[in-house]
Amino acid sequence: MNLKDFEKTDFAGLYIGKEEHSTYGKKYIARFQIGTKRYVKVLGFTKLDKLDDKKAFKLLNDYKATMENESVVLLKDKLISKVVTKKKITQPVKKTEPQVSISKSEFDECKTIKNLLGNYKALDPLALTKGIQKIYDYEEMKGYQVELIKLQKHLEKTKKKMIILFEGRDASGKGGAIRRITRYMNSRHYRVVALGKPTDTQRHQWFFQKYIEHFPTGGEIVLFDRSWYNRAMVEPIFGFCTNEQYEIFMEDVVNFEHDLVRQDMILIKLYFSVSKAEQLARFESRQSCELKHWKLSEVDLQAQDLWDEFSDKKYEMLRRTNSKSAPWHIVRSDNKHKARIEAVKIILNSIDYEQKNYGLNFEPDEEFNISVSQELSRMRKNNDY
Buried/exposed code over 301-326 (b: 16+ C-beta within 10 A; e: otherwise): eebeeebeebbebbeebbeebbeeeb
DSSP three-state, residue 188: helix
pLDDT grade for 78, boundaries at 50, 70 and 90: low
Flag whether pLDDT at 75 surpasses 50: no
Flag whether pLDDT at 89 surpasses 50: no
User: Whole-prediction pTM value?
Assistant: 0.72
User: Which CATH number describes the domain made up of 144-381?
Assistant: 3.40.50.300
Domain locations in the chain? Answer: 3-71, 73-123, 144-381
**pLDDT for position 113:** 83
**Cα dihedral sign, 337-339-345-347:** negative
Q: How far is CA 297 from CA 170, 198, 284, 294, in A?
A: 10, 18, 12, 8
Q: How far is CA 138 from CA 107, 166, 360, in A?
A: 27, 21, 15
- Alpha carbon distance 18, 57 (integer Å): 17
- Averaged pLDDT for residues 139-156: 97
- Alpha carbon distance 296, 307 (integer Å): 17
Mean pLDDT of the chain: 88
Flag whether pLDDT at 362 surpasses 70: yes
